[in-house]
Amino acid sequence: MKYVFLVLLCLCVIVAGRLVAARYQSQMKRCEAFLLFLSFTKTELRFSQCTVLEIAQKFRHLHPGALPFLEDLSEPVSACVKRQLEQEHILSARQKSCICDFFEGFGTQDTFASEQFTEQYIALFEAENARIRQENTKKIKLTNRLVLLLAAAVAIVLF
């Protein structure tokens, strides 16, 4: 009976570790998608000077499902994004706040200032993506070590 318990404990640790890693990978994918959106926004500003709503619609058309919080947008965009982000469970509160801040501040200046504003958020999300990647690596290594430790404990107990 205790052997079954130890094996189940090992399996639970493995599954928990994989779930944590999957969550961080999902966060990384969303951050990368938002970085793509920011780069797309900067390009659209430079060449077509569209509104944020038009940019979001074009991005949605080119990359369907990449950013679910851009799906049902209307004016005012910042309020719409804020509402959509409240239902988002993958992104952290800090990331949601940064995205809301971007949509609240975007388009309130001229084109050059909006480009600079977008550049700041590109740098911010590149740093955030690097932080998530580093954290993900640490969590996966920790999980692997715990699994090895538990496997060793099971081997000691069994033999």
113: how many CB neighbours lie within 10 A of its CB? 12
pLDDT above 70 (res 149): yes
Give residue 11's domain range.
Answer: 2-158
Q: What is the pLDDT of residues 125-141, one digit of tens each?
A: 999 889 888 987 887 78
Per residue in 11-61, pLDDT (tens digit) is: 776 777 677 777 777 888 888 899 999 999 999 888 887 888 888 889 999
Domains in the chain: how many in total?
1
Question: pTM (2 decimals)?
Answer: 0.78
Q: Which of the residue ranges 49-53, 98-102, 145-149 has the most confident prediction, judged by mean pLDDT? A: 98-102
Phi-psi region of 65 (alpha: psi -120 to 50; beta: other; left: phi over 0): left
